Structure 1
Amino acid sequence: YSRQQLPDYVRRHHSEPQVSEIVSAVKSLMHNSAATVEEVIAQLLSWIDQDQKITPLKALQGLIWEAGYRNGDFTGHLYEDAARNLRRWHEQGIALYVFSSGSVYAQKLLFGFSDFGDLTPLFSGYFDTTSGNKGEAGAYRTILQAINTPAAATLFLSDIRAELDAAATAGMQTTWLVRDHPTSPHEVHRQVQSFDDIVLAQ
């Protein structure tokens, strides 16, 4: 969606302060302060095609997604069992946090315009790659420090093995969300196919 919308969005909004700041950051990364709007657009599209996690690109994608959410072009996809259990855990007083490669802004949009309504009040905080790479233990140590919670009392959920390994290295409990694709029964990470299968200690 963002790739399709990006060229026209930048052309229409590049002089507005928020987008102008992003364009300037892109020019800086291009080492070309005289780059035209079209050259900036080409660079942004190139980063998308290469799946690059570039900060100004993520910020711009967040703005484009916000426009899409507000226009009703789409909603944030969540599984029903995820939404239901997140609500239940919140009611039980369990602190919930999000750590994603998407920006905090994009995370709040996804949960704010989810298939099940605005879920943002359920979360105590949001973390993105400014805390570090999701595949590196240092990022999880940074988050533990920020939320002031012992690693052994923190459960990290993911469907990506490298992230679970990194969280475990930082001392966290881990659970692998495998849905319909269970892996080896000898895995070090506990596996569940649904949020309904996750048991949290109070």
Structure 2
Amino acid sequence: MAAVATANGLPVLSSQAYLEGKTVWETRTLVADLCRQFYTLGWVSGTGGSITIKVHDDSIPKSDQLIVMSPSGVQKERMIPEDMYVLSSGGDMLSTPCAKPYPHKSPKCSDCASLFMKITHMEMIKGIQGHGYFDELVVPIIENTAYERELTESLSDAISAYPKATAVLVRNHGIYVWGDSWISAKTQAECYHYLFDAAIKLHQLGIDWKIPSHGLIKNESYQSGSKRKFNVYANSGLAVQASVPSRKFIVLDIEGTTTPISFVTEILFPYARDNVRKHLTSTYDSLETKDDIKLLRAQVLDDLEKGIAGSTPIPPDDTGKEEVIESLVVNVEAMIKADRKITALKQLQGHIWRTGYENNELQGVVFDDVPEALERWHASGIKIYIYSSGSREAQRLIFGNTAHGDLRKYLCGFFDTTVGNKREARSYFEISQSVGVDKTSQILFITDVYQEAVAAKAAGLEVILSIRPGNASLPENHEFKTITSFAEI
């Protein structure tokens, strides 16, 4: 049996007993449960954000209680207790989730880890600590950064400037809420969600200031140095009624829908073809490229069995680097020429294009009506996703570096062929399960490909066909609504 030391008369962990005990497991289960519920409520995106809870155990001093943290890059609605990280109170990693079988990526601890803070001397009134019915609620808003760990300084400054605050909003990212227990943090998150949702609905109705006869809501935002302040006054008995469309999600194709086909066929494909040998040679020994080669090997073996034209056997690694690369180049060039919609090719292309964007040799292209539409839909509360045959990384690169700036701030997630073939109804059902809709009809899918439209409709989605310059002709007398610009939606 593990030895247990004591501090102030209470036991302190000195073995695996606490780490593998009932309270830690229950907290792991709770985090997984909350991730699914918060995703369903729309409070967190598919893989973004993190939920962190301190393990409550009266037999362990608070200073020694462990921390359970959800992983990064895992769909919130699919998390299980085994996916969680366990950290010491000082932030040291004690337990990590096991890697899942290929093609799942290795788990990653969220950058939120360095932002975890212990907050004391909080009061609990009307759901929001330190606030009563007639009090003013002040929530600091700070600017987003490239990585969550880089928020530490501005988050600390905001908490110092507003010591009574129990939450901080991060622009185009989300909200950090804390409390003296997971129950109080969850309760406050629900309250903030209600207040912000009410403020947004009233803003959409044109009500931006406190109305003396009702005392509804005051929603004020102003610049103060690098900080902004968001003041909300709410009557808890108020039922705000606003016209909310049944369409809550929009899923967009890229090629021929948000982006000209010519950009893909005349810019991206040739760049990948012309740089595949250079890329494989310079990155051959990296883990990422080894994974790309493994995927290509499996695809080529399958192609050879099916007699796919252009397929060439790839020699084993011990044959030599040059021979392996030569065969890979031949296969990749044949795949690109045939415009194969396969994960092995799309993943490698995404990695090649990333280098092009980083070297300023490539810039993402979208139609001029796209940025305004994305901003408008996002402001109305609609969640926007991308579904393309290109890899998720390639999708992010297109929208992250355009003449209109970084458009990823309007997007909630990306789907590629790992979710399924775009011409199969099952793929769209999988997407609907991932985004968490009550009815598949709440999703609008926009594409230029008739076969994709048919598949999406079969899954119950609303569908619109995109007619853009250079797109293929559509069948006559098809049943779908068409648009030539997102301004029509």
TM over 0.5: yes
Counterparts of residues 10-159 of structure 1 (less than 5 Å): 10-31=280-301, 32-34=315-317, 36-149=324-437, 150-159=439-448
Deviation at 1:109, TM superposition (A): 0.8
Deviation at 1:18, TM superposition (A): 1.0
AA partner of residue 24 (structure 1): K
AA partner of residue 22 (structure 1): D
Counterparts of residues 158-197 of structure 1 (less than 5 Å): 158-179=447-468, 186-197=477-488
Q: What is the CA–CA distance in structure 1 between the aligned matches of 2:354 and 2:392, rounded to whole Å? A: 12
Comparing 39-48 and 168-177, the one that deviates more: 39-48
- SS of 1:101's partner is coil
- SS of 2:383's partner is coil
Whether contact under 8 Å (1:24, 1:33) holds in the other structure is: no
Greater strand share, structure number? 2
Whether contact under 8 Å (1:27, 1:33) holds in the other structure is: no
Whether contact under 8 Å (1:158, 1:176) holds in the other structure is: yes
Deviation at 1:45, TM superposition (A): 1.7
Residue-by-residue CA offset, 1:36-85 (whole Å, 9 max, x unaligned): 22222222222222222332321111111111111111211101101110
Comparing 141-150 and 182-191, the one that deviates more: 182-191
Residue aligning to 2:274:
4
Whether contact under 8 Å (2:366, 2:402) holds in the other structure is: yes
RMSD of the TM alignment (CA)? 2.0
Comparing 182-191 and 70-79, the one that deviates more: 182-191
Q: What is the CA–CA distance in structure 1 between the aligned matches of 2:365 and 2:385, rounded to whole Å? A: 18
Q: What is the CA–CA distance in structure 2 between the aligned matches of 1:30 and 1:160, rounded to whole Å? A: 27
Q: What is the CA–CA distance in structure 2 between the aligned matches of 1:37 and 1:62, rounded to whole Å? A: 18
Comparing 46-55 and 147-156, the one that deviates more: 46-55
- Decide whether aligned partners of structure 1 residues 65 and 145 sit closer, same or farther in structure 2, where only a CA change above 3 A counts: same
- Decide whether aligned partners of structure 1 residues 7 and 83 sit closer, same or farther in structure 2, where only a CA change above 3 A counts: same
- SS of 2:344's partner is helix
AA partner of residue 192 (structure 1): I
AA partner of residue 316 (structure 2): S
Deviation at 1:153, TM superposition (A): 1.3
- SS of 1:46's partner is helix
Q: What is the CA–CA distance in structure 1 between the aligned matches of 2:364 and 2:425, rounded to whole Å? A: 28
Whether contact under 8 Å (2:450, 2:474) holds in the other structure is: no
- SS of 1:130's partner is helix
- SS of 1:75's partner is coil
- Identity, % of aligned pairs? 32
Q: What is the CA–CA distance in structure 2 between the aligned matches of 1:37 and 1:184, rounded to whole Å? A: 42
- Decide whether aligned partners of structure 1 residues 58 and 88 sit closer, same or farther in structure 2, where only a CA change above 3 A counts: same
AA partner of residue 123 (structure 1): L
Greater C-alpha Rg: 2
AA partner of residue 21 (structure 1): D
| Number of matched pairs | 198
- Decide whether aligned partners of structure 1 residues 56 and 185 sit closer, same or farther in structure 2, where only a CA change above 3 A counts: closer
- Decide whether aligned partners of structure 1 residues 186 and 46 sit closer, same or farther in structure 2, where only a CA change above 3 A counts: closer
TM-score (norm 2): 0.39
- Decide whether aligned partners of structure 1 residues 195 and 30 sit closer, same or farther in structure 2, where only a CA change above 3 A counts: closer
AA partner of residue 62 (structure 1): G
Bigger RCO of structures 1 and 2 (CA < 8 A, at least 6 apart)? 1
Residue-by-residue CA offset, 1:13-46 (whole Å, 9 max, x unaligned): 1112211221233234445434622222222222
- SS of 1:93's partner is coil
Q: What is the CA–CA distance in structure 2 between the aligned matches of 1:174 and 1:53, rounded to whole Å? A: 22
Gaps of 5+ in 1: none
TM-score (norm 1): 0.90
- SS of 2:397's partner is helix
